[in-house]
């Protein structure tokens, strides 16, 4: 049997696919593969078939049928060719704002140089970033990740690499760091505003997040500067927290899909509970500030949720939820998140310090949390369709 590849292009309109398959059915062909894409009203439809009869007769029939619809058609006949579609080994998600052609060109050229083949390209997002998903075939996992990291750095885009297959869409639990991840600021710095110690606290926080200081020791030093603060300020700060753009959308969408969602924070339970209530989160792990007589003592109660503590909290939540660790996701930005990111099945560094980005599976450098969804294989269109079905507005706002 000969294999015949038919490619139809032209304005998208009803009936094209029906006319094509009616012509094919007259020749008793076997359908081997089909791909269709429509971009701005322009249709490209590819069909690979095996025919037991005369392929030239099939070609003539198909060309006549398509020309009757004023469609362009190209027919390629291969009597001995391989008709199997190659199975993609990896999924590569490219995100940019904007996503320019030179970035995709650089990635494609680099793939060609190292023998990585692009099987399919699909747009997955147009807001708040532009995102493309590439299915690729690569022989060397480490080489693929290395070349992608190089291109991402030079082109100024985010590129995430994951193994293709069910595992990517099998994630069921996600945890977020709070400060500078789920929210835009640092809670302890907001509290320090009320004690006149913000400058010193900011300095220590920055060094701790870069991994230059022991987190537990640095936390005790910073909390000591809050001694005497009225405990009512904790609720005041909790009510004033500003969520990172896309946080609500991301958590709402993941909960629709059955994810367990929570926060694992080096911050404080008295403030974090406001996020738990507002976002309807399933669990929280954070530090508890000691309060005596309505004022902070400058000490932390119990075991500190430090770098190792964050990883233990993730493992505990996964066990309580009956979710294997390889089906978990963690998102964070600081050095104290590294163990949590490497423990999770997928660790995402969010606008992170270099030491964190190097340890994570992938890094996002956009000021939005929505791209977490795109990395997990959820498209912007699916998000907005789900919101619309719930009577929600798409929530698009002008981007600076």
The per-residue DSSP string of 289-341 comes to EEEETTEEEEEEESS---HHHHHHHHHHHHHHHT--GGGEEEEE-SGGGHHHH
- The token duo for 278 is 């507002």
Q: Which residues contact 81 (CB under 8 A, 6 or more apart)?
A: 3
- Given a contact cutoff of 8 angstroms between Cβ atoms, the answer to whether 17 and 45 are in contact is yes
- Given a contact cutoff of 8 angstroms between Cβ atoms, the answer to whether 59 and 122 are in contact is no
Catalytic residue among 35, 74, 84, 179: 179
Q: Is 199 part of the annotated catalytic residue set?
A: no
- Given a contact cutoff of 8 angstroms between Cβ atoms, the answer to whether 318 and 335 are in contact is no
Q: Is 179 part of the annotated catalytic residue set?
A: yes
- Given a contact cutoff of 8 angstroms between Cβ atoms, the answer to whether 297 and 291 are in contact is yes
Distance CA 289, CA 163 (A): 42
Q: Would you call 148 helix, strand, or coil by DSSP?
A: helix
- Cα 70 to Cα 15, 41, 65, distances in angstroms: 12, 15, 9
Catalytic residue among 78, 140, 177, 337: 177
- Cα 273 to Cα 12, 178, 245, 310, 370, distances in angstroms: 52, 11, 20, 17, 23
Residues with a catalytic annotation lie at: 177, 179
């Amino acid at each position: 049997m000969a294999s015949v590849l038919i490619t139809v292009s032209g304005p998208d309109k009803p009936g094209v696919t029906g006319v094509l398959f009616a012509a094919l059915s007259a020749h008793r062909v076997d359908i081997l593969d089909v791909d269709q894409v429509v971009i701005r009203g322009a249709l490209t439809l590819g069909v690979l078939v095996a025919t037991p009869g005369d392929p030239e007769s099939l070609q003539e029939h198909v060309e006549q049928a398509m020309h009757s619809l004023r469609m362009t058609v190209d027919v390629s006949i291969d009597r001995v060719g391989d008709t199997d579609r190659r199975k993609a080994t990896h999924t590569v998600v490219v995100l940019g704002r904007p996503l320019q052609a030179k970035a995709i060109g650089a990635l494609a050229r680099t793939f060609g140089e190292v023998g990585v083949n692009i099987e399919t390209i699909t747009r997955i997002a147009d807001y708040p970033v532009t995102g493309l998903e590439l299915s690729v075939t690569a022989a060397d996992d480490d080489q693929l990740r290395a070349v992608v990291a190089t291109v991402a750095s030079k082109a100024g885009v985010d590129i995430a690499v994951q193994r293709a297959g069910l595992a990517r869409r099998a994630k069921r639990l996600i945890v977020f760091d709070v400060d500078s991840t789920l929210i835009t600021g640092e809670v302890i710095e907001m509290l320090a505003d009320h004690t006149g110690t913000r400058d010193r606290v900011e300095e220590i926080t920055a060094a701790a997040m870069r991994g230059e200081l022991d987190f537990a020791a640095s936390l005790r030093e910073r909390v000591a500067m809050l001694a005497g603060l009225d405990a009512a300020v904790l609720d005041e700060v909790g009510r004033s927290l500003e969520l990172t753009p896309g946080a609500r959308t991301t958590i709402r969408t993941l909960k629709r899909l059955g994810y367990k969602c929570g926060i694992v924070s080096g911050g404080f339970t008295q403030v974090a509970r406001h996020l738990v209530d507002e976002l309807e989160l399933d669990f929280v792990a954070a530090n508890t500030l000691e309060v005596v007589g309505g004022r902070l003592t400058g000490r932390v109660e119990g075991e500190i949720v430090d770098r190792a503590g964050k990883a233990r909290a993730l493992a505990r939540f996964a066990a309580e939820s009956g979710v294997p660790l390889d089906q978990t996701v963690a998102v964070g930005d600081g050095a104290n998140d590294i163990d949590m990111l490497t423990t999770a099945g997928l660790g995402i560094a969010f606008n992170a310090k270099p030491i964190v980005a190097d340890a994570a599976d992938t890094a996002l450098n956009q000021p939005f949390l929505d791209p977490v969804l795109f990395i997990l294989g959820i498209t912007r269109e699916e998000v907005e369709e789900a919101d619309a079905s719930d009577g929600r507005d798409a929530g698009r706002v002008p981007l600076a």
